[in-house]
Amino acid sequence: MTTKNTSIQVAGQEVALININDNDFISLTDIARHKNPESAGQIISNWLRTRFTVEFMGLWEQLHNPGFKLLEFDEFKNDAGSNSFVLSPKQWIEKTNAIGLISKSGRYGGGTFAHKDIAFEFASWISPSFKLYLIKEFQRLKLDESARLNQSWNLQRTLAKVNYTIHTDAIKANLVPKFLTREQCMAIYASEADLLNMALFGMTAKEWRTQNRGIAGNMRDHASIEQLVILSNLESINAMFIHQGLTASQRLAQLNQIAITQMQSILNSPHLKKLK
């Protein structure tokens, strides 16, 4: 197993990273310290105990971890959100055989680390603007590493992949009826993608192409970093809404409000200009 340690500065907070076999893990403990330096562990536990987090973590593990224990996960999911429910990173790891979280001991370099997909989700819970800072500094690190290794790295592709599979998996499990043709199934996936486009951009992909004839790429290729961060958030939130059985109109209304709130939070941040 190959392990590499490094760190980045995010809005004045040092955040440790470890790379294990080309998988980046980011310190949730350091991210939580941005909110409250004295109660980082409690902040992580509070995030873990929400039903949204348990469902998101479970979906991530099912997509990436063949050894994930579904029975134990179902027990956590059934209890999540109740006043008496408590969940620590160590409990999650040991009982479900999770690989998305790592719990490290030690005064220096210890704490809870999460795969970057999960860490970005945690940063959203801390604040949308902090997630933007984290992703931007992560981008700078990866571009520096890529330059040294003479490799390419693309932020848009990385953000697009963070929650894309979780989103499409939720669509497949809950919205795609049996025995449809491949073309019919793709139409459903496209309609869900346009639901997110409407919530964030206010138009469908087809409407964007009509208004931007002659421009290469699609609307997401030309989106700002702020829009891509929010789109990543909306994909995971929509996946949860789909699992909860909300209708398309209900989801669109809520996702649009979330997009507006998160964009206002990001644009009102006093640190935004430093990222430009």
Q: How far apart, in whole angstroms, are the C-alpha atoms of residue 78 and residue 85?
A: 10
Amino acid at 163: N
How confident is the model over 58-88, as pLDDT tens digits? 988 988 899 999 999 999 989 987 888 999 9
pLDDT for position 275:
46
The whole-angstrom distance between residue 8's C-alpha and the CA centroid of its chain comes to 19
pLDDT for position 205:
87
Q: How far apart, in whole angstroms, are the C-alpha atoms of residue 275 and residue 218?
A: 24
Kindly report the pTM of this predicted structure.
0.65
Segments making up each domain of the chain, as ranges? 3-133, 154-275
Instruction: Extract the tokens encoding 229.
Output: 């961060």
**Half-sphere exposure (CA, 13 Å, Cβ side) for 25?**
22
Q: What is the pLDDT along the chain (276 residues), one digit of tens a residue?
A: 556 788 999 888 899 999 888 889 999 999 999 888 889 999 999 999 988 899 889 988 988 899 999 999 999 989 987 888 999 999 999 999 999 999 887 665 679 999 998 999 899 888 888 888 898 888 888 777 766 655 555 555 565 555 555 566 666 666 555 666 667 666 777 888 888 899 999 999 889 989 998 888 888 788 887 888 888 888 878 887 887 888 889 999 999 998 888 888 777 766 554 544
